[in-house]
Structure 1
Amino acid sequence: MPVPDFVVRLRESIGHDLLWLPGVTAVVLRDDEVLLVERSDNGRWAPVTGIVDPGEHPEVAAVREALEETGVVCEIESLVWVDVTPVITHVNGDLAQYLDHTYLCRYVSGEARVGDDESLSVRWCELDDLPEMEPVLVERIRRAAGVRAGA
């Protein structure tokens, strides 16, 4: 589901006003590859991202989002970065800002596939041959890969 139910309910009250939300990025690594999704909202490549549900631990959210969006089961290895995004204007005009928790995740099982309508495609990419993506997303991948390599 692209927008969690709790956000839909909030938007009924506040319209497009700015929402501060906890988010997650799951940088799922398999050997020297990273799992990427081509987002349906903007057509850009990204690691798996999502919103933390009320009462949900961010680690649980990262694993859940990876499974929902890609069909891949992963395990958390480490929290690698916490960052605040700039204010984002979504395609529908909603304003949001996220406290992102970026996790290094280890691939466990599953065939990478489009799992919901948030993605156009899903693929494994070599860490040294990433498609064009937002610089902050490349930085999240770089930090996770650096933790994995012991840097």
Structure 2
Amino acid sequence: MPIPDFVIRLRERIGHDLLWLPGVTAVVLRDDQVLLVERSDNGQWAPVTGIVDPGEHPEVAAVREALEETGVVCEVEALVWVGVTPVITHVNGDLAQYLDHTYLCRYVSGEAHVGDDESLSVRWCPLDELPEMHPVLLERIERAVGVRAAA
């Protein structure tokens, strides 16, 4: 589901007003490839991203989002970056700003496929052949790859 139930309930009270949310990015690596999704809301390629549910640890959310969106089981290896997004206007007019936790994740198992309606397609992409994507998403991937290389 693209919008978590708790966000829908909040939106019933606040409408399109700015909502501050914890988010995650799971940079899932398998050898020299990264798992990417083509988002259904804007058609852009991205690593797996999502919203942390109330009471959920961000590490758990990263693993959950990867499984839900792509069918891939992964393990978190490291927190590589915490950043604040600019205010985002979603296609439905909702305003949101995210405290993103970016994790380096290791592929464990599963065949990558579209797991829900948040994605148009899913694929493993060689790190040296990344498609065009928002610069901050590229930075998240680069930070995860840098942490893996340092280890």
- The corresponding residue for 2:60 is 60
Per-residue CA deviations over 1:27-46 (Å, capped at 9, x if unaligned) read 00000000000000000000
Tell me by how many angstroms 1:75 deviates: 0.1
- The corresponding residue for 2:107 is 107
Q: Please, which runs of 5 or more residues in structure 1 have no aligned partner?
A: none
The within-5 A match list for 1:1-151 is 1-150=1-150
Q: Please, which runs of 5 or more residues in structure 2 have no aligned partner?
A: none
**TM-score, L = length of structure 2:** 0.99
**In 2, Cα distance between equivalents of 1:96 and 1:127:** 30
Give RMSD over aligned pairs.
0.6
**In 1, Cα distance between equivalents of 2:128 and 2:66:** 22
Aligned residue for 2:128, secondary structure, equals coil
> Identity of counterpart residues, as a percentage?
89
Tell me by how many angstroms 1:107 deviates: 0.0
**In 1, Cα distance between equivalents of 2:88 and 2:146:** 27
Aligned residue for 1:128, secondary structure, equals helix
**TM-score, L = length of structure 1:** 0.99
Tell me by how many angstroms 1:123 deviates: 0.1
Per-residue CA deviations over 1:46-74 (Å, capped at 9, x if unaligned) read 00000000000000000000000000000
**In 1, Cα distance between equivalents of 2:128 and 2:76:** 22
